[in-house]
Chain A
């Protein structure tokens, strides 16, 4: 996944690096274990819906989709190029499976909540659970500064949207710096709890924690759940990790070769590179 992300970004020449690398493990867990989906039938009615609110990290979603079989891996190289289905920010009608158009921050949770509300409207009378599908909404931590996010959080809390599971990429960086310097989010858990959400916190690089958190979220039927996923921005490449300057830039060819070597040797631990 991370190699695909680097390969895509160096080819595209623009885009975001730290976020996609940091969310690579979460996306892997979802596309290869958690999501009920069919890459050959992206419009399957009972598929789980994964709404990506922070559209700028779409390289990680595209990489996951390609590896899962939605489209050929070679197509990843078309990212951000003229005529591509892999738009710089994801576009619903360009690529089956991306579920919604996103990019402008703060508007994904509302859409996910609308989706979840619609699905609950169609439940047989008296049934609160046993949804045909789950609605997931991945968000960045930076967009927790956007008003629309909290309007949506209040809405989902009021209507007890237990079929909605949010996940926040808590990597502490945003374009201008660290979130707590730019506009503090903490106490983030308490904020969501105050909006009547069930809140879980996980290490977003620990697959067991990711999977267990989603299982717990599914079992909470009286309110929506948000998973605060503590992630390392740029995870896997030492030069990028924790550096907010890598939020919105891409590696050049030289850097990419170095980073790919780092990924292929597990950070220099092994001598023979592998893919």
Chain B
């Protein structure tokens, strides 16, 4: 199977129905607890969503390092800025729509420009929030976080990676935005899957069994899919299906949207000559846009963008909404075929 053996995914990665499922926010809760154990400077602040954002694990174990802020997201950011300025490493949690949605300017000025290491954890990102509807489905958060200087932006693909990203965020000397989902999604990485902030990983590549990636010469690849978040799994399923149809598709887990692993992205464009990006976010300003910025400058290739197409979400079942807004396996496959028609 064309799964990159180095990334040590679960063996039955393609059997979606049989995979264990957990929301990425659960991984955040565990990661925060572990980070608290490792580093006593870590403190946690929450805006009245402690259990929902999975901060309750930390709050229970470290009650003196947990601060309840009430429904006040602007103050969530500014108090954390003060705590970080004093010497703490604060994690702040709310739904992504409210933090970093409502408190953007405070994050920009008092955290990023002020150069203090606050870690912003936005839960309930994406339309897969489901029944709560559009008001609670953050699909613009990547776009508003990534242009701010000093900010690191990470969107983990499953609960394991969410835990690793949370723990790694402590070591990033500056602000970090961590993006999590509400709904259960397949756990397809393992504890041994490598995770490094700023390094994208090739998860799936039919060429692996033939020979190493070709670095811009005659390509054996048809298309590269660059994905982030839980949709990375859909991308793998799409690539596996396409392989049966004779198309060779590489899938990259591009968890760190900023700073982006430009080398891996450019290499993929050179090897494949066409790129599809996949994210549960508006296509305007999101991860795909960031990839396009890199490629337009370094190695332009035809691209397709799978994501929300300039629309608001709505109520529904999570999977239903992912399909409705065009981010299902079939949509990814269609995007691959579409981009192929434009490939030279």
Q: Which A residues touch B115, using CB under 8 A?
A: 92-93
Q: How far is the CA of A121 from the CA of B84 in the complex (A)?
A: 13
Instruction: Judge if A67 is at the interface, Cβ distance under 8 Å.
Output: no
Instruction: Judge if B114 is at the interface, Cβ distance under 8 Å.
Output: yes
Which of A99, A101, A104, A152 is B79 in contact with, Cβ under 8 Å? A152
Q: Which B residues touch A152, using CB under 8 A?
A: 75, 78-79
Q: How far is the CA of A155 from the CA of B77 in the complex (A)?
A: 13
Q: How far is the CA of A117 from the CA of B88 in the complex (A)?
A: 11
Q: Which B residues touch A114, using CB under 8 A?
A: 78-86, 90
Could you tell me which residues of chain A, from 60 to 74, have a CB within 8 Å of some CB in chain B? none
Instruction: Judge if B190 is at the interface, Cβ distance under 8 Å.
Output: no
Instruction: Judge if B109 is at the interface, Cβ distance under 8 Å.
Output: yes
The segment from A105-113, A179-187, A195-203 found at the interface with B is: A105-113
Q: Which B residues touch A103, using CB under 8 A?
A: 109
Query: Per-residue CB proximity of B21-51 to A under 8 Å, as 1/0?
Result: 0000000000000000000000100000000
Instruction: Judge if A115 is at the interface, Cβ distance under 8 Å.
Output: yes
Q: In the complex, which residue of chain A has the Cβ closest to the Cβ of B109?
A: A104
Instruction: Judge if B74 is at the interface, Cβ distance under 8 Å.
Output: yes
Distance in Å: Cβ of A260 to nearest Cβ of chain B: 34
Q: Which B residues touch A111, using CB under 8 A?
A: 78-79, 81-82, 85, 110
Which of A107, A116, A118, A119 is B78 in contact with, Cβ under 8 Å? A107
Could you tell me which residues of chain B, from 77 to 111, have a CB within 8 Å of some CB in chain A? 77-88, 90, 105-106, 109-110
Instruction: Judge if B299 is at the interface, Cβ distance under 8 Å.
Output: no
Q: How many A-B residue pairs have CB under 8 A?
A: 102
Instruction: Judge if A3 is at the interface, Cβ distance under 8 Å.
Output: no
Instruction: Judge if B69 is at the interface, Cβ distance under 8 Å.
Output: yes
Q: How far is the CA of A104 from the CA of B107 in the complex (A)?
A: 12
Q: Which B residues touch A151, using CB under 8 A?
A: 70, 72, 74-75
Q: In the complex, which residue of chain B has the Cβ closest to the Cβ of A152?
A: B75
Which of A91, A92, A99, A118 is B83 in contact with, Cβ under 8 Å? A118
Instruction: Judge if B8 is at the interface, Cβ distance under 8 Å.
Output: no
Instruction: Judge if B65 is at the interface, Cβ distance under 8 Å.
Output: yes
Instruction: Judge if B218 is at the interface, Cβ distance under 8 Å.
Output: no
Is the Cβ of A148 less than 8 Å from the Cβ of B106? yes
Instruction: Judge if A100 is at the interface, Cβ distance under 8 Å.
Output: yes
Is the Cβ of A118 less than 8 Å from the Cβ of B109? no
Is the Cβ of B106 less than 8 Å from the Cβ of A107? yes
Q: In the complex, which residue of chain B has the Cβ closest to the Cβ of A51?
A: B82
Is the Cβ of B75 less than 8 Å from the Cβ of A100? no
Which of A99, A121, A155 is B75 in contact with, Cβ under 8 Å? A155
Q: In the complex, which residue of chain A has the Cβ closest to the Cβ of B88?
A: A118
Interface size grouping (class) on chain A: 20 to 34
Q: How far is the CA of A107 from the CA of B110 in the complex (A)?
A: 8
Q: In the complex, which residue of chain B has the Cβ closest to the Cβ of A89?
A: B109
Q: A104-B109, A111-B78 are in contact. Are A117 and B72 (CB under 8 A)?
A: no
Q: Which B residues touch A104, using CB under 8 A?
A: 105-106, 109
Instruction: Report which residue of B77, B81, B86, B113 has the largest number of chain A beta carbons within 10 angstroms of its beta carbon.
Output: B86
Is the Cβ of A115 less than 8 Å from the Cβ of B86? yes
Q: Which B residues touch A51, using CB under 8 A?
A: 82
Is the Cβ of A115 less than 8 Å from the Cβ of B85? yes
Distance in Å: Cβ of A117 to nearest Cβ of chain B: 6
Q: A107-B74, A107-B110, A147-B74 are in contact. Are A155 and B105 (CB under 8 A)?
A: no
Which of B64, B77, B82, B87 is A113 in contact with, Cβ under 8 Å? B82
Which of B67, B106, B109, B114 is A117 in contact with, Cβ under 8 Å? B67
Q: In the complex, which residue of chain B has the Cβ closest to the Cβ of A108?
A: B78
Could you tell me which residues of chain A, from 84 to 99, have a CB within 8 Å of some CB in chain B? 91-93, 99
Q: How far is the CA of A121 from the CA of B83 in the complex (A)?
A: 10
Distance in Å: Cβ of B113 to nearest Cβ of chain A: 5
Instruction: Judge if A154 is at the interface, Cβ distance under 8 Å.
Output: yes
Q: How far is the CA of A118 from the CA of B43 in the complex (A)?
A: 9
Q: A117-B67, A118-B87, A147-B74 are in contact. Are A110 and B82 (CB under 8 A)?
A: yes
Q: How far is the CA of A112 from the CA of B83 in the complex (A)?
A: 9
Is the Cβ of B75 less than 8 Å from the Cβ of A117? no
Which of B43, B72, B75, B109 is A101 in contact with, Cβ under 8 Å? B109
Q: Which A residues touch B78, using CB under 8 A?
A: 107-111, 113-114, 148, 152
Is the Cβ of A155 less than 8 Å from the Cβ of B82? no
Q: How far is the CA of A100 from the CA of B111 in the complex (A)?
A: 10
Q: Which A residues touch B74, using CB under 8 A?
A: 106-107, 110, 147-148, 151
Could you tell me which residues of chain A, from 171 to 222, have a CB within 8 Å of some CB in chain B? none
Is the Cβ of A118 less than 8 Å from the Cβ of B82? yes
Q: Which A residues touch B43, using CB under 8 A?
A: 118, 121
Distance in Å: Cβ of B213 to nearest Cβ of chain A: 41
Q: How far is the CA of A159 from the CA of B332 in the complex (A)?
A: 51
Is the Cβ of A99 less than 8 Å from the Cβ of B85? yes
Q: How far is the CA of A147 from the CA of B76 in the complex (A)?
A: 13
Distance in Å: Cβ of B40 to nearest Cβ of chain A: 10
Is the Cβ of A154 less than 8 Å from the Cβ of B70? yes
Could you tell me which residues of chain B, from 95 to 139, have a CB within 8 Å of some CB in chain A? 105-106, 109-110, 113-115
B interface with A by C-beta (< 8 Å): 43, 64-65, 67, 69-70, 72, 74-75, 77-88, 90, 105-106, 109-110, 113-115
**Beyond A93-B114, A114-B86: 6 further Cβ-contacts under 8 Å?**
A108-B78, A110-B75, A110-B78, A114-B80, A118-B43, A152-B79
Nearest first, the 6 closest Cβ-Cβ pairs linking A and B are A114-B82, A110-B78, A151-B75, A118-B86, A114-B79, A111-B82
- What are 20 inter-chain pairs, A to B, with CB distance below 8 A? A92-B85, A100-B114, A103-B109, A108-B78, A110-B74, A110-B78, A111-B82, A112-B82, A114-B84, A114-B85, A115-B82, A115-B83, A117-B79, A117-B83, A118-B87, A121-B43, A151-B72, A152-B75, A154-B70, A155-B79
